[in-house]
Chain A
Amino acid sequence: MFTRFSDIDRLFGTMDLLRQRLDNMSTDYNRPYRSTWLMEDGFLRANLYQSGDAFEMRLEVPGMDKDALDIKIQGNYLEISGKRDHNVPDGYKVHKTERLNGTFSRSFTLPDDVDGARVAATLKDGVLYLTLPKSEAAKPRQITIS
């Protein structure tokens, strides 16, 4: 009797383990790095955060100086473009190039309009931090019931 029970238990135990693993996979869906991933398509990854007043956007832009980046904003349309040089040093033999080079551009349609005049951007350690304050009309408002 005990033998049979633990056999069934073992069967479902394995299925449970499989289900747990699959569950973890789906919650990890919005995280780009699973076991090991080469970042070939990893350039310009972006995170968007929002609070009631502003958006904060972060982008991975390794190896870029601030003059090489171009940020345009219009209403709720944000576009980030730039150029990373093929900086192959002279006289060197090339074994491997995996880092992406050339012009790039990525555009976003934000959920709300942004006040273009008050946008702040900082570039730190290869990550671009953008603070995008929402325009007045888009801010959440308290409505009192009369």
Chain B
Amino acid sequence: MDKNTEIAKRDDRNIEKTRELYEAAPAVDIYENEDEILLVADMPGVVKEEVSVNIDNGRLALSGVRKLESGGVASWEEFGNVEFVRNFSVPQTIDVQNVKAELKNGVLTLHMPKSEKAKPRQVEIKTA
């Protein structure tokens, strides 16, 4: 009998879930040279206030929320409110203090300079 009451109690049938914000992964381009890693992500419709870039312990988390005002009666809709989320592993050698980001025309450009000790260096050999 106890088993019955446990089975009959299914809350998720009763609670109506409102639609959560969809998640999409933005398309990114990643480039690297000796001084920095450059990441460019497409996030159309996202404004600066809604972007968050988090670098912590070798992990980069990008997030941008897009909320568009409703345009009226829709004939068809192919894009809507969405959260752009994407996570990356970044090398520990990134100089987190000097990371620069800019958002222009819906494109987020992230400059991650490498810390001094990670830059390639010529080691000079001294003759003993």
Q: Mark A1-39, 1 if CB is under 8 A from B, else 0.
A: 011001001100100110000000000001111111111
Pairwise interchain contact A33-B73, C-beta atoms closer than 8 A: no
Give Cα A25 to B55, complex, Å. Answer: 35
A85 part of interface (Cβ distance < 8 Å): no
Min Cβ gap A54→B in Å is 9
Give Cα A78 to B72, complex, Å. Answer: 20
Closest to A39 in B: B27
Given the known inter-chain contacts A62-B105, A63-B106, please indicate yes or no for A126 contacting B31, CB distance below 8 A.
no
Q: Give 26 CB contacts A-B under 8 Å.
A: A16-B13, A30-B76, A31-B22, A32-B79, A33-B24, A33-B79, A34-B22, A39-B24, A39-B25, A42-B79, A45-B78, A45-B79, A47-B80, A48-B76, A49-B72, A58-B71, A63-B105, A88-B31, A92-B38, A94-B29, A96-B29, A98-B27, A123-B105, A125-B105, A126-B44, A126-B45
Task: Give A contacts to B, CB under 8 Å.
Answer: 2-3, 6, 9-10, 13, 16-17, 30-40, 42, 45-51, 55-56, 58, 60-65, 88-89, 91-100, 111, 123, 125-127
